[in-house]
Structure 1
Amino acid sequence: MSLPDWRWGYLCENRTLGATTLRTLRLGNLTAERARDKVQANLADLERMVRFNAEHCIGVLRVGQQLVPFGSHPAFPYDWAEEHGAAMRQIGVLAAGLSICLTMHPGQFVQPGSTDPGVVERSLAELRYSARVLSLLNPGDGVMVLHGPAPGGDREAAAERFIAALAGETEVLRYLALENDERWWSVRELLPVAERLGVPVVADTLHHGWNDGGWTLREALEAASPTWGGRRQKVHLSSQAEGGRPGAHAELVDPADLEQLLAAGSHLRLDVMVEAKAKELAVLPLVGETARRAGVR
């Protein structure tokens, strides 16, 4: 078996280093001094994780949404992009030089297709914040992953609201990628929405297992592949947490789930984001296993 042309990644924190990009505070305690302390600590740990990744053949890293706590909120007390932009650019240059892809994933509360104008306004603010972070980090292959629109009873209407809200957001669309979910949007159903916005589709293997839209995983990966326009295709890999709700992530990746992805996508050029609670401790064995199979020592 030849080594797949894959890069591996993990989420926001590194247990080995005790590092995180998720430091935050409460809105009621938001002051310029406290915010600066959190941002500077998050950025310092982001740099540490980038260097760790390069040393351990891990090519993708998700940056926490709290890199700048409340960075999208109108109450944020200073111009964070102006004050921290130079440090972010420096980390971005480092990551690019080490071939590390930086990504973000705004949370489920981000719903630009909502029927509530307040939710739409806050969602767009969070997406603009995320795009600004990625722009300052300058990740040429970075993406901002967002789940498809919450239907709220009418899937087509939700999709139309979602598309209308995002249509003029040039900087957001530059980084945006849409992800399937375990309940509402399979890869098959999400592709037309992504096509209308001109953005790629991230296939999540765990969500696909719960909501496949009538496609095999191989069919879903191959259908999503052209949406990336020659860039590395982003894929999410995780295993179901025993006893958890559908879609809940386990600590590690079940070997059977790795085998399934290898069988379905070893011929594709992938960035595989491992959404496991053990962070890099779940990724390191996968890096070693795929290398071992290829006879790399």
Structure 2
Amino acid sequence: MAAIQLVHLLNTAQLQTNVPPELGLVCITFDQQVRFRTMTRTRYLKLSVDDRQTALRELYQHNLQRLHDALSFCHNNNIRLYRLSSALFPLSDLEDQIGTNILTEMSADLSKIGERSQSLNIRIVLHPDQYVVLSSDSAEVVQNSIKILERHALTLDLLGLPRSPWSLMNIHGGKSQRSQQLISVISDLPAAIRNRLTLENDEYAYSAEEIFTVCQQANIPMVFDAHHHICHENLDSYDHPSVAAMFHAAQTTWEKPEWQLVHISNGEQAFNDRKHSNLITDMPSVYYQAPWIEVEAKQKEVAIAHLRSWWLMGQ
């Protein structure tokens, strides 16, 4: 189905609202206020078992406090959408189970953070890293991808966040021309993953139309990324008719359209540049109708403030 043919969805899928879009912070702040620590696998494996436990416990406690700080930052700056770092609790998926056991021990503290996010009315979402490829032709890669998603789902569960797209885990399609494999794997995922899973179009392997079709057949929501779309289709404007068409098509995949989440970034050196710019200086007009927008710009909260100053003020 050509994107331009989806224009008829504009009248049926449009979310009628006068509420301005919520602009979301991605993982860290530009000004160093929100930062997380990590540890390499190589360094970890050099430690004794006791030292591994001590090191991970201290690291996880530190990062949990930084997550608390991130919520405070969002609350103080009227930001109601926050993307968790996928490296919040590094090495928690290793076979020695040390990290998993420490997280379980910290479940009460994690639960308090989740309760705080809900009391502050801050939506928490997650974007696992590029190693999650459910469409791979390698069974080992698929199983490792599911393992990564299980680890993230456990984190969201321990935070007490709902198993729904409100607390989504967003991934890309992965290996191209493997749509049926992707749909098949998704259908067999555990509920803790599948009920939170969303798919995003990308610049290379899966166009917005292709991901829309996969999401329809897999019955999961689509996260539309306007910049990925214009790069994939080699367009020269965010107001090309296909941008609005795909935005509204994606909206139909959300059981609750008021939960629809989209991404925005701008090219660093040129409009079609895939590298992200410092700020957002160009926006799709249709995004005024987006309930939730993750701002993928290098200067993070500065980019959000800049968008508020020129884009939302012009709504």
Q: Shorter-chain TM-score category?
A: 0.7 to 0.9
Counterpart in the other structure of 1:65? 86
Using the TM superposition, give the Cα deviation of residue 91 of structure 1 relative to its aligned residue in structure 2, in angstroms: 0.9
Using the TM superposition, give the Cα deviation of residue 163 of structure 1 relative to its aligned residue in structure 2, in angstroms: 2.2
Q: Secondary structure at the match of 1:133?
A: helix
Change (3 A) 1:175 1:289: same
- 1:159 matched to 2:179? The reply is yes
Q: Which runs of 5+ in 1 are unaligned?
A: none
Q: Secondary structure at the match of 1:9?
A: strand
Counterpart in the other structure of 1:292? 313
Q: Secondary structure at the match of 1:129?
A: helix
- 1:229 matched to 2:255? The reply is yes
Structure with the greater alpha carbon radius of gyration: 2
Distance in structure 2 (CA, Å) of the matches to 1:196 and 1:137: 30
Instruction: Give percent identity, aligned residues only.
Output: 25
Counterpart in the other structure of 1:271? 292
Counterpart in the other structure of 1:12? 27
- 1:248 matched to 2:268? The reply is no
Change (3 A) 1:187 1:4: farther
Counterpart in the other structure of 2:48? none
Q: Per-residue displacement from partner, 1:11-54 (whole Å, max 9, x unpaired)?
A: 11123352224x21111222121111221111111111111111
**Paired residue type of 2:60:** V
Change (3 A) 1:113 1:75: farther
- 1:138 matched to 2:160? The reply is yes
Q: Per-residue displacement from partner, 1:182-219 (whole Å, max 9, x unpaired)?
A: 11212211112112222100011110111249962111
Q: Secondary structure at the match of 2:38?
A: coil
**TM-score normalized with structure 1 length:** 0.87
- 1:54 matched to 2:75? The reply is yes
Change (3 A) 1:275 1:135: same
Change (3 A) 1:70 1:49: same
User: Which of 138, 142, 147 lines up with 1:116 in the alignment?
Assistant: 138
Q: Secondary structure at the match of 2:262?
A: strand
Using the TM superposition, give the Cα deviation of residue 161 of structure 1 relative to its aligned residue in structure 2, in angstroms: 2.0
Counterpart in the other structure of 2:237? none
User: Which of 167, 188, 191 lines up with 2:212 in the alignment?
Assistant: 191
Pairing 1:90-105 to 2, within 5 Å after superposition: 90-105=112-127
Distance in structure 1 (CA, Å) of the matches to 2:53 and 2:218: 37
Distance in structure 2 (CA, Å) of the matches to 1:198 and 1:150: 20
Change (3 A) 1:19 1:265: closer
Distance in structure 2 (CA, Å) of the matches to 1:120 and 1:53: 35
Change (3 A) 1:138 1:247: farther
Distance in structure 2 (CA, Å) of the matches to 1:82 and 1:181: 35
Counterpart in the other structure of 2:42? 28
- 1:44 matched to 2:71? The reply is no
User: Which of 243, 260, 263 lines up with 1:217 in the alignment?
Assistant: 243
**TM-score normalized with structure 2 length:** 0.82
Distance in structure 2 (CA, Å) of the matches to 1:242 and 1:269: 26
Does the CA-based 8 Å contact 1:234-1:273 persist in structure 2? Answer: yes
**Paired residue type of 2:39:** L
Does the CA-based 8 Å contact 1:113-1:120 persist in structure 2? Answer: yes
Does the CA-based 8 Å contact 1:232-1:269 persist in structure 2? Answer: no
Q: Per-residue displacement from partner, 1:212-269 (whole Å, max 9, x unpaired)?
A: 499621111110112111242100011112279942211211x2x22xx2x1132x24
Does the CA-based 8 Å contact 2:135-2:173 persist in structure 1? Answer: no
Q: Per-residue displacement from partner, 1:56-114 (whole Å, max 9, x unpaired)?
A: 11111111111110222324424143122222211111111111111111111111221
Change (3 A) 1:24 1:163: same
Distance in structure 1 (CA, Å) of the matches to 2:271 and 2:310: 27
Change (3 A) 1:132 1:212: farther
**Paired residue type of 2:300:** K
**Paired residue type of 1:62:** R
Q: Secondary structure at the match of 1:14?
A: coil
Q: Which runs of 5+ in 2 are unaligned?
A: 1-16, 45-51, 235-239
Does the CA-based 8 Å contact 2:134-2:173 persist in structure 1? Answer: no
